[in-house]
Structure formats: structure tokens, C-alpha cells
Structure 1
Amino acid sequence: MNSKSQHIVKNPSGGWAVKRSGSSRVTKVYLNKKEAIERGRAIAKNQKSELYIHGVDGKVLEKDSYIMDAEK
């Protein structure tokens, strides 16, 4: 897992958060999961990293990698 990876996680206070791998703080909290995924994907593409989308239970449901884009 890349240290710049972005994770979409359920926020304990409500909504969905974008969080960088290894960080104790979230980047931003969104009201719905779709908005959080859109922002997380944009960050992952920009940083040429990976995006992990978690379910309510915390398990990874989906993973997208944008690392290969760095080689183009």
C-alpha cells in the first residue's frame, strides 16, 4: 500500500471521509459517499497513488490504482 494512498471511510461523526494512508486526521468529510469517492479519486489521480473504498464495516470493497498513469 502506497503511503500516499487515499481511503474513503465512514466518519464516526457522520458522513464519509477522505483520509490519507497513515494519517490520523481526515482530509475532508462529505455528506455522502459518492462525493467522498469523487474527491478521493481526484486526489489519487493527482498523486499517482491508489484509492481504497471501504464499507460501513471498514472492509475494503473496491480498490483503484492510478500508479501506472505515472509511467505514461
Structure 2
Amino acid sequence: MSKKSQHVVSSAKGGWDVKKSGSDRASKHFVTQVEAIQWAKGVAQNQKSELYIHGKDGKIREKNSYGNDDYPPKG
């Protein structure tokens, strides 16, 4: 079973939203990106999933994994 990743994205209404991958609705809305990142990080750690942080332009600027990743990577 794959876990849903969390995305911190700019909101059309202003501020920042945290959304599960594949979801149109925000899980939670924040005034600042820092608050959104802190909350989303906790969710991603709890779910052992990925966290994607998007810039205002929508492009991914940072990605963190909180799952059971192999280190060093295989291959």
C-alpha cells in the first residue's frame, strides 16, 4: 500500500495550503509557508511518506522523504 505524499503549495486565496497528492482540496490552510511546512513535515513523518515543497511559481523547490528509504541507494 503506497502512502500519499504531502505537498505545500501556494493558495489562490493567498497563503499556503497542504494537500495530499492527487487531492483537489487542501488538508489545511496557513498564512505563511513556514507554518505549512512545519505541519506538513509532521504529517509526512507520521505517515512515513514524501514531502514536496513548492515555490510560488508552482515548481518543486525541495523534497524530503520520511519513509523507509535505502541508504545508500541500491544500484
Considering the TM-score relative to the shorter chain, is it more than 0.5?
yes
**TM-score, length basis structure 2:** 0.86
Secondary structure in 2 matching 1:44: helix
C-alpha RMSD of matched pairs (Å): 1.3
**TM-score, length basis structure 1:** 0.89
Structure 1 residues without counterparts, runs of 5 or longer: none
Structure 2 residues without counterparts, runs of 5 or longer: 70-75
Larger radius of gyration: 2
Poorly superposed stretches of 4+, deviation over 2 Å: none
1:3 Cα shift? 5.1
Q: Percent identity?
A: 54
The residue aligned with 2:19 is 19
When the two structures are aligned, how many residues end up with a matched partner? 68
Return the structure number with greater helix share: 1
